Amino acid sequence: MLRNFLKTAWRNLLRHKTDSLINIVGLCVAFTCALLLFLSVFYEYSYDHFQRNGKDIYQLYFTDHKATGTERGTSMPMPLYRALSQAYPAIKYIARHATGSAYVRYKDKVIDEKLLYTDAAFFSMFSFPLLKGEKNTVLKSPNAIVLREKIAKAIFGEEDAMGKMIELKQGSEWKPFVVSGVGGEFPDNTTVGYDIAIPFENHPEAADRYNSWDNQFFSIFVQLNNQVSAKAFEQQLPPFVHQHYAESIKSLKRDGGKPDKNGEMMTLNLLPLFNLHTNTEFNNVGASISASYLYLLLAIGILIVVIACINFINLSIGRSLTRSREIGLRKTLGANRSQIMLQLWGEAFLLCLIALVLSCLLCWLLLPGYKQLFRMNIEKSLLLQPGTWLYTAAGFLVVTLLAGVYPAWVMGRLRIVNILKGSVSVSRSGRLRNGLIVLQFGIAIFLITCTLVSWKQINYLRTQPLGFNTSQVISIPVNGQISGTAAEQLLRQKLAARPEVLSVSGIYNNLGRGKDNSSMSSRMGFDYNNHTVVSHWYGVSYDFVKTLDLQVTEGRDFSRSLATDSAGVVINEAMAAALNDKDLIGKFLPLDNGKLQILGIVKNFNFQSLHNKVEPLTLVLNKEFGVNYILVKVQPANPAGSMELLKSAWKEIAPGSEFLGSFLDENVNAQYRNEERLTRIFVIGAVITIVLSCMGLLAMVILIVSQRVKEIGIRKVLGASVNSLVQLVAKDFIVLVLVAAFIAFPIAWYFMHNWLLDFAYRASISWWIFAVAAALAIVIAYATIGLQAFKAAMRNPVKSLRSE
């Protein structure tokens, strides 16, 4: 019987070639898109799940309840690590985590590598394999160093790395380390990986801040004992916070902070390791991706599959009239309803199976381009994993049930009497068909609207004045072979006679996100006139204001001729407002023993992304910050030539260091990669949904026209024009598209309005966006319908009425 069912199903697919082709193409496109999108989501949510102890590992973060709202941060002070490990036996392992970079030297070989500063418990806590060395003792010695296998091979080749001495250059000095362990390779989907690990005590700031509770510059991970829950542990922490942060809590209360439901002004909390990658609230140790983007990928994948299923359902039900004789004959010969339904569902299953096989092949071929387009780190090997096949099979069965069971049920319940009377009509399912068409085009119009809104916002972000020069300033990361201060001085001397170069300065924090993909933030709070002031702090060099074309509204810029300026600061207008004092020029901030004098005030500029309003900023000539980026202002006439000039000069200054210079406008735009990716998702999703919707609409129009061919012939004989006949067929469908638009618009407005709330600076959702979305959908639908209607109207009515 099964063989007979499959044979009959195959013959029916061949008999209705147009419908079969539309369904296969539609389902194939939908399955391919959904599979790629679901693989992306699966990969992103798989981060750190290879860690055997992952369910018990957490990152610490503080929550401050201020008058302006709740603030959270993962940066921790040095004494907290010791105090916490001593106070709570529920902590099985605790490890600090900070990253950096350094040059590694062995004999005559020098390479630039990333560093992880951590503690001995790191390898006991995390499941990173060690090929050589003991996980409990591998970082016990102050000069111990653990190398990832690929780094060990890059340094030593085929030599045994264990026990060998290598040197690291941190700052201006080389320091010896002894290889105590070699780590095996581990999956890329981790937020806490390493290339080179050394004891945390070697961090440049560790010694100076050993007893400082005010300076926070690293993360802390803890692993709790198996029997201790995160909630229970958090409930034990308030006394600890009260003991060590009494002054901070007092300041929060004084400044009008609002306590949480438990009456706490400040809490220490736990962020699960498995949630780290999808949490974008913190500047986490690894690159994160917003969970909302992953939900969006899932939603678009599901919507595309839903549209393909709608096409299938509409076509199957629409064909019920043409297949009524077949169904009637089968019932007359003794077939029951379940057998009819099984036969029809078998056809749906076979068609979906063909589409699935084709989509798997397409997915394999398109994966490299998809990765590049959406910046998704998924490999082809993920397609071959059992879990992928299991989820794919489950999804396939759900789709075949959705797409095949209802049409099979509708056709299976047709009565023989109605079939013999010729009273079976597709119009019985007209409401369902119309509802599904509305749903299809509603999804398409929703995505078109979202595309237009996101495109407008991205364009707004790119064109919004930032208050500083981005088009003429090149940012050059300094990466360890030479100190930033020395590199800045050498570069200034080398370029002093070049007319292309207008000024040179340096900065601790980059503006935007450069080619090194690094992002740093330094914030500090202090009491001023009996209230707390929190400011961003940027270590800068001379000529910073000149290089960025900042506007000094009061006072002056730093001056080389005045030695006392090394203890001075320049603040922005937001900082001046936060200080809430008159005649600020010449006054001192209560920091560094009260030596920091306010020299000048500059006009506000957007030193952060436009997600945030301009916040208080303090510029300081402080050697503790150092120079991590050199800023060079060049003439606007020949930017490419200026970049080549700097690249050549950099090779002479730091011959072993890669030149990663970029213009600040590139760095600023790089802050909005997620938004650009979102726009691409909307664009491609909208195109695919429109194409699939039009394919389904085309098939329905072909079916409807074939059923109304005699009506069209009679109308034409009675004098109806071609245009009126086209309008006759098209008007009902255009009305459905308009209904879809009116349903989709409020949903799209709500979704995009909430998305825009993430930006302090945002474009408005203009009325023309909805008008363009509706017009585009109507034009595409009308073009799809009109072509078939025109062909029907141009047909010779004699042929249509010959059988009458």
What DSSP line would sit under 740-780, residue for residue? HHHHHHHHHHHHHHHHHTT-SS-----HHHHHHHHHHHHHH
Q: What is the pLDDT of residues 561-604, one digit of tens each?
A: 887 778 889 999 999 999 998 899 999 998 867 778 999 999 99
Q: Quote the pLDDT of residue 657.
A: 76
H helix and E strand count, the chain:
24, 23
- Position 435 confidence tier, pLDDT thresholds 50, 70, 90: confident
Residue from 316, 409, 350, 353 nearest 696 by CA: 316
Q: Are 222 and 56 in contact (CB under 8 A)?
A: no
Residue count of the chain:
804
- DSSP-H helix ranges across 413-543: 416-421, 430-463, 484-495
- Position 151 confidence tier, pLDDT thresholds 50, 70, 90: very high
Residue from 368, 668, 638 nearest 513 by CA: 668
Q: Say which residues have a Cβ less than 8 Å from residue 645's Cβ, sequence separation at least 6.
A: 495, 498, 500, 501
* Long-range contacts formed by 775-782: CB under 8 A, 24+ apart: 776/448, 777/441, 777/444, 777/445, 777/448, 777/690, 777/737, 777/740, 777/741, 778/734, 778/737, 778/738, 780/690, 780/694, 781/441, 781/693, 781/694, 781/697, 781/733, 781/734, 781/737, 782/730, 782/734
Following DSSP, what letter does each residue of 370-430 receive, concatenated?
Answer: HHHHHT----GGGGGSHHHHHHHHHHHHHHHHHHHHHHHHHHHT--HHHHHHT---GGGGH
Report the distance separating Cα 557 and Cα 210, nearest Å: 34
Q: Which residue has the tokens 């390493």?
A: 194
DSSP E strands in 231-363: the ranges are 266-272
State CA 733 to chain mean position distance: 38
Q: Quote the pLDDT of residue 426.
A: 44
Report the distance separating Cα 573 and Cα 600, nearest Å: 10
Question: How high is the mean pLDDT of the chain?
Answer: 83
Report the distance separating Cα 780 and Cα 517, nearest Å: 42
User: What is residue 11's three-state secondary structure?
Assistant: helix
Q: What is the pLDDT of residues 203-214, one digit of tens each?
A: 888 888 888 887
pLDDT at 179 over 90: yes
Look at 294-303, 448-457, 476-485 and tell me which has the smallest mean pLDDT.
476-485
Tell me the pTM: 0.80
Report how far apart, in Å, the C-alpha atoms of 366 and of each of 123, 253, 371, 670 are: 38, 57, 9, 25
Amino acid identity at 302: I
Greatest Cα-to-Cα distance within the chain, rounded to the nearest angstrom:
106
Radius of gyration of the chain (CA): 34
**Consecutive H or E run containing 684:** helix 673-707
Q: What is the 3-state secondary structure (H, E, C) of 176-195?
A: EEEEEEEECCCCCCCCCCCC
Q: What is the pLDDT of residues 627-668, one digit of tens each?
A: 888 999 999 888 888 899 999 988 888 877 788 889 999 988
Query: What average pLDDT does the segment 193-216 reach?
Result: 87
- Position 234 confidence tier, pLDDT thresholds 50, 70, 90: very high
Which sign does the torsion angle of CA 298, 300, 306, 312 carry? Answer: negative
Pairing outcome for strands 173-183 and 130-132: antiparallel
- Position 57 confidence tier, pLDDT thresholds 50, 70, 90: very high
Q: Are 359 and 305 in contact (CB under 8 A)?
A: no
Q: What is the pLDDT of residues 671-722, one digit of tens each?
A: 887 778 778 888 888 888 888 888 777 777 776 776 666 777 777 767 777 6
Q: 280-290: buried (b, 16+ CB within 10 Å) or exposed (e) per residue?
A: bebebbeebbb
Q: Quote the pLDDT of residue 616.
A: 93
**Consecutive H or E run containing 53:** none
Report the distance separating Cα 68 and Cα 81, nearest Å: 29
- DSSP-H helix ranges across 600-657: 639-653
Report the distance separating Cα 568 and Cα 265, nearest Å: 33
Instruction: Quote the crossing angle between the two packed helices 709-717 and 767-793, to the nearest 10°.
Output: 80
Report the distance separating Cα 71 and Cα 64, nearest Å: 5
Q: Quote the pLDDT of residue 711.
A: 72
Q: Are 171 and 483 in contact (CB under 8 A)?
A: yes
Residue from 534, 527, 570 nearest 552 by CA: 570
Report the distance separating Cα 69 and Cα 63, nearest Å: 10
Q: Quote the pLDDT of residue 798.
A: 58
**Phi/psi at 421 (nearest 5 deg)?**
-80, -10
Q: What is the pLDDT of residues 495-533, one digit of tens each?
A: 888 888 999 999 988 888 887 777 667 778 888 888 888
- If phi > 0 it is left, if psi is from -120 to 50 it is alpha, else beta; for residue 107 that is left
